[in-house]
Amino acid sequence: MATTAQPKVPDHVPPELVRSADIIVGEEFLTDPYGYMSTMHERLPRLFYNVGSAVGDGWMTISQPLAFKALRDGDHFGVPPLFIFPRDEDNWFRMIPLEIASPDHRKFRNILDPMLSPRGVLALEADIKALANQLLDTFADKGECEFTKEFARPLPVMVFLNFMGLPLDRLDQFVKWVVALIQFAEFDRAKEIMEEIEEYLTTVIDQKRANPDDKAISRIVHATFDGEPMTERDVLGFTFFLFIAGIDTVYAALNNSWLWMARNPDRVKELVADPDNRDLQTEELLRAFAPTFSGRYLTQDLELDGVLLKKGDRFTSFLPACNYDPEVWDNPREIDFKRVKKPILTFTGGIHSCMGGHLARLEFRIGLNEWLKRIPEFSLKPGTAIRYTPGGVVGPDSVPLVW
């Protein structure tokens, strides 16, 4: 429940804007995160100072226009180091490009933009379709599967390995790393896991240095800025960040959407009957089930929406709630596959807008299409209890399905 809270807050914060939204770890949130996030507008102001939550005190917006305004304002908003990924202070690496400010940021993005543009990702379409069917082959005839383990996790990992130029035989290991890294419950082990990933990626980077190809890691390794190669730590930081950004988000979006479909068989019929509308269906499901957030801090004082924000204040754009902003969408809680397209915040906005947005949409669209062709009717396995583990990416732990 959102309640008026009492803890210490900075003097410049108006008391009426201090709230305690019990997000990420709260019981109500974990029971039904999208029920919670889609109704935040009924309980909270569009900009408030959130206190007492496990994710730390600071400003939070649930307004789509305010979030876009903040995310596009690199003069006042910076990206803080991502605390959930602990790194060795003496041998630091930057999570590239998210932890890089303008103008340097652009030169890093330029390296992979051609691969990740709407045209660039189409080159991966046939492979993604084949990978989705390879997974479906393993369970379509069985009449049941644990969707997370058998489809939602392996699909983005396989696509990612392919995109990066890594062998598919590392699939299981990658899945284990991803699952452990995104859950706060495993935070104590995060450093150890990060070291394991670093060790593996370092070996691969050396191999790509010796044997170039046209995949992402090789392009990063061989990129030059004004004739100079990137530092080794930056090569690692870029490769590492792609790994974090490109896998768990897609898995969570798939998991949330398939859970919704399993609970809404009539709506699945609508999807099956309209295969030519997959782009809008994908966009609408990604609007409704945005799995992550954008954290910033104020680099200088700013008045936003009539409120003074001070240098150093933390600021979160709570993207899933922004996608349900009633100022922007009619009946935001209704999943409407004919909705007029408007900018969603699932992939955030501004200079740090998701580099993988087109790839993620493609993976989602192909996953949806191939699945519905082969499994057009499905439901949750009877007796299933859906659980969410607190973390920076919101998605159910498992989705057992039957058909």
Given the rule CB under 6 A, which residues bind ligand HEM?
Answer: 97-98, 109, 241-242, 245-246, 249-250, 253, 291-292, 294-295, 319, 346-348, 352, 354-356, 359-360
Least CB distance from residue 190 to ligand HEM, whole Å?
18
Least CB distance from residue 377 to ligand HEM, whole Å?
25
Least CB distance from residue 165 to ligand HEM, whole Å?
13
Least CB distance from residue 293 to ligand HEM, whole Å?
7
User: How far is it between the farthest Cα atoms of the chain?
Assistant: 63
Of 2 and 250, nearer to ligand HEM (C-beta) is 250
Question: What phi, psi does 123 have (nearest 5°)?
Answer: -65, -20
Give the length of the chain: 403
Of 98 and 135, nearer to ligand HEM (C-beta) is 98
On whether the CB atoms of residues 64 and 348 are closer than 8 A, the answer is no
Least CB distance from residue 1 to ligand HEM, whole Å?
26
Least CB distance from residue 155 to ligand HEM, whole Å?
11
Of 18 and 112, nearer to ligand HEM (C-beta) is 112
Of 110 and 134, nearer to ligand HEM (C-beta) is 110
Of 165 and 356, nearer to ligand HEM (C-beta) is 356
Residue 224's CB is within 10 A of a number of other CB atoms, namely 9
Least CB distance from residue 95 to ligand HEM, whole Å?
8
Cα–chain center distance at 56: 20
Tokens 């399905």 belong to 401
Of 48 and 240, nearer to ligand HEM (C-beta) is 240
Q: Which residue is nearest to ligand HEM (CB)?
A: 356
Q: Which helix (H) or strand (E) holds 263?
A: helix 232-263
Least CB distance from residue 2 to ligand HEM, whole Å?
23
Which conformational region is residue 56 in: left (phi greater than 0), alpha (psi within -120 to 50 degrees), or beta? left
Q: How far apart are CA 261 and CA 258, in angstroms?
A: 5
Tokens of 1: 């429940």
Q: Which helix (H) or strand (E) holds 301?
A: none
Listed residue (85, 81, 84) closest to 98, CA to CA: 81
Q: How far apart are CA 345 and CA 375, in angstroms?
A: 30
Least CB distance from residue 359 to ligand HEM, whole Å?
5
Q: How far apart are CA 304 and CA 322, in angstroms?
A: 16
Q: How far apart are CA 254 and CA 180, in angstroms?
A: 18
Q: How far apart are CA 193 and CA 244, in angstroms?
A: 12
Least CB distance from residue 242 to ligand HEM, whole Å?
5
Of 149 and 215, nearer to ligand HEM (C-beta) is 215
Tokens of 86: 């602990």
Of 18 and 165, nearer to ligand HEM (C-beta) is 165
Q: How far apart are CA 172 and CA 93, in angstroms?
A: 26
Cα–chain center distance at 220: 22
Residues in Cβ contact with 80 at an 8 Å cutoff, skipping those fewer than 6 apart: 295, 296, 297, 314
On whether the CB atoms of residues 320 and 394 are closer than 8 A, the answer is yes
Of 332 and 349, nearer to ligand HEM (C-beta) is 349
Of 98 and 372, nearer to ligand HEM (C-beta) is 98
